[in-house]
Amino acid sequence: MTSSGVLVLAATPIGRVADAPPRLAEELAGADVVAAEDTRRLRRLAADLGVEVGGRVVSYFEGNETGRTPQLVEALQAGERVVLVTDAGMPSVSDPGYRLVVAAVEAGIHVTAVPGPSAVLTALAVSGLPVDRFCFEGFLPRKAGERSRRLAELAAEPRTMVFFEAPHRTGATLAAMADAWGDDRPAVVCRELTKTYEEVRRGALAELARWAAEGVRGEVTIVVAGAAPAAAVDTDPASLRAAVAALERDGLRRKDAIAGVARQAGLPKREVYQVVHVEREADDDD
């Protein structure tokens, strides 16, 4: 049975209050419950919008998502309208919300959204890089080794990639990207999007890494061009094994290297797997 309650994911401005979607004020005023990543920011936002939050206000952030989610689902099952807001942008996109959406869907509750500002789409649109196909990769791992492995996995990604990054890690991340993907890969760093000191800096990864090494301030979104089409791989066993070995040396796990070579060669993964492992088994027998 479908509940009469509704979960509303409400986008909030990423910079200027004037960018708030018109429905945001209406939803804040009419909600039975407003779950906010930061209740103080919510109060300031409501004051700037000239609206009084009508319902109960509860906190909903990374530290209490697990415990708070069942409480909010109970409110939804009781027929209440719950509005979820985060500090900026769309809830659940690198922000709290995903757990609540999953729980609401599993409980048969209607989930809707107030569309609005998005750092991902804004950065992509102004980047000047291809927008016909793209992927959002969120934040990269903080540890250098894990970050390098993740970048190696994305080395052959043909789509434009969008990342979030903390300002104090931006220089190191751009340098790691240059190491993994080449100094000349085109990229764009978007800083403080839609705010007073907005900056969009375009260039090659190595150039941007040198610029960011001096320090970056504000909210950062990085957009990077996808990999150029790879040269065709010969399908004879020796060439397939050599191509897999080359990707492994670049840091890819074997299964990811096999998948990449299979795509380039237009072969099923299992066929490349068999070619690689037959040779390794033969070497072991020797």
Is 132's pLDDT higher than 90? Answer: yes
Residue 246 binned pLDDT confidence (cut-offs 50, 70, 90): confident
Pairing of strands 33-36, 81-85: parallel
Query: Any idea which of 126-135, 227-236, 261-270 has the lowest mean pLDDT?
Result: 227-236
- Which CATH code of 3.90.870.30, 3.90.950.10, 3.40.50.720, 3.40.1010.10 fits the domain covering 6-117? 3.40.1010.10
Per-residue model confidence as pLDDT tens digits over 69-121: 999 999 999 999 999 999 999 999 888 999 999 999 999 999 999 999 999 99
Q: What average pLDDT does this structure show over 163-174?
A: 96
Q: What average pLDDT does this structure show over 214-240?
A: 86
Amino acid at 77: Q
Q: Considering only the top CATH level, what class is 120-224?
A: alpha beta
Residue 2 binned pLDDT confidence (cut-offs 50, 70, 90): very low
Instruction: Identify the pLDDT of residue 1.
Output: 41
Q: What is the mean pLDDT of the chain?
A: 91
